[in-house]
Chain A
């Protein structure tokens, strides 16, 4: 057995462990005992060329170890300190002090704020903690990422509606409490009772992201000034993954036609964008240089979108696909992809079972790497027309891989997804390009931004029309 095979199996054992941990309630102690037994077995008997400990046994011991590590990692993610849930569904107001820990999500008639709570105040007592609460409030006053706030109100447990398990959806982001329309006031860091509730590292993180989100917001608002709705929201969606401004009926049309993925930054669309960028760079420079510049572009893009975990995961997947395309050796990529998956799962084990986005991203990537070259070989004879064929192959291979997940999660599969995607995808990078240009120019000189915005409007209008037509 080659070294890379051994590594692959160990990684798969870890993933299996996390999976088992998420589905079955396995006691940590039992797992620990098994793991320790496996370690001691290897430690005591392992010797090069040992007869007692043959390779298969040693290998099995390591597999058990990796599996146990997976189970333990999942269990650890479950046993986070949860103080706030004690106040859920209690009919009394409490005071929560913390900071806004994500970009406020502006919907048509309300906003959602993710608060990182550091301090809970109940009459005569203050409790220090570090948990999240998702707050729904009126559109105004507006808040920014990093604002210190005091929220006074009641807490609720998430309730599932219809088929959608809201509690599970939030749990993977470690949110277990909601608050609707509490009284929110901005405070200063000095108002916290705790000596230093926010650590140096956290302050730095807040400072950094505050500025990233500022840049992002300035850009988004520029697009909104130079392009009419709903196209402006659509362009912000494909450029930055913000889709809260898109009207509900249009969102449903995207869902029905299997094109929602262009509005979310997925590994798939980062790959497409990456391929376009690198072909642009290839005009001017050598392959090697173009590849690295594309990687840098993707990283900058990831930061601009706010570097949320899902975008980071997408970026990693996208870069891996680009790497595969560059090397032209698709079959060597297995380890890198599984390794990337393992890291992501190790950082947040909940995504394996609960994050549909992660599952889709991961499988679509596998499809692009393994299925696409195979299909390309089969469809050699069909001529290429303005990347239609390439998009057809990419769509087909990604869709084929994600089909089981989509069927399981959404219960339906869109037959029009293929034609809709093939018609839309060639225009997406153009829309992104002109949208980006319009946003930047709009900041410099609004008139010019508006003119370029017209072109972006036109491309986006075409895409919206196609989606409406097929839905």
Chain B
């Protein structure tokens, strides 16, 4: 190879690298919450104002990896916090591959007993990952910066190591607060837990709500919607899923209250972008 050519190649290479970094750095600031389009399941990626990254659930397959490739900077091979709301397949599967590929610094999970093949793989990889593990229960909280806080609202008491028949109702419910904005992530909780949250007077009032259990009719009670009183709601689900999600009743409940909602099966990945003291913006893939 010609010596000059080498310098040219090197030059072009560094130019590209600088451009790539710049392109990523000039991204808008603020809190970003992505409801990733992973099919019939949940995967929510959050980047705080201080660029701390949180992944809530991983969806039913490995599509989350491709989606993360789109929303994370290309040089970033670490995720600060992974939250597993509950170990059902449509929530845990993609997280296993995430553990394989990314350095995960912290994990929040409920720790209920589970011997599904996915749980065993998750367990093995977790042991290898030198992550801090927090077993979620009501009252736990994490502060990321002066404006950003994460509260755990369910389970009411630790269920770690317990054998549970209704896994959905052990889902970690997470409230993310950023300045005046608040987002409620509800996993797959059903009516029973929703009522419990309402009756116990837990502060679930939020601006944005992730509809529990992909819009199943066993969840998203009138009480929950009244108490949360969201401006907007998000439903994470797959196109033509065999469960008939979202249920028509749930859609009517949202429409009755004039709550605007977005569905990942219709619009693909949804970005909720919030800045301090400004209303949040929505961007969708399709």
Contact = CB atoms under 8 A, between A and B. Distances in A.
Q: Which of B65, B89, B93, B102 has the most CB of A within 10 A?
A: B65
B17 A142 contact: no
Contacts of A225: 77, 100-102
B121 A221 contact: no
A450 B93 contact: no
Contacts of B76: 228
Interface in A131-145: 138-142
A302 to B, nearest CB: 27
A457 B77 CA distance: 13
Nearest to A442: B77
Interface string B46-79: 0000000000000011110110110010111100
A458 B69 contact: no
A353 to B, nearest CB: 36
Contacts, number: 75
A386 B5 contact: yes
Contact of A454 (B1, B72, B75): B75
Given A141-B117, A224-B100, A454 B61 contact: no
Interface in A11-50: none
A139 B93 contact: yes
B66 A247 contact: yes
A110 B121 CA distance: 15
A229 B60 contact: no
Nearest to B8: A386
B31 to A, nearest CB: 22
A109 B100 contact: no
A108 B61 contact: yes
B118 interface: yes
B243 interface: no
On chain A, which size bracket covers the interface?
20 to 34
Nearest to A109: B61
A153 interface: no
B132 interface: no
A221 B100 contact: yes
A317 interface: no
B77 A140 contact: no
A363 interface: no
A109 B63 contact: yes
B121 A140 contact: yes
Nearest to B116: A140
B187 interface: no
15 contacts: A108-B66, A109-B63, A140-B121, A141-B121, A142-B121, A221-B101, A225-B101, A228-B69, A228-B74, A228-B76, A229-B66, A386-B2, A446-B77, A450-B77, A462-B16
Interface of B: 1-2, 5, 13, 16-17, 20, 39, 60-63, 65-66, 68-69, 72, 74-77, 89, 93, 96, 100-103, 116-118, 120-121
Given A108-B63, A232-B101, 12 more contacts: A109-B62, A138-B89, A139-B96, A140-B116, A228-B76, A228-B77, A229-B68, A229-B69, A230-B69, A231-B69, A386-B1, A446-B103
Interface of A: 106, 108-110, 138-142, 221, 224-226, 228-232, 247, 386, 446, 450, 454-455, 457-458, 461-462
- In the A-B complex, the 7 residue pairs with the closest CB atoms: A229-B69, A109-B61, A141-B117, A140-B117, A228-B74, A140-B118, A228-B69
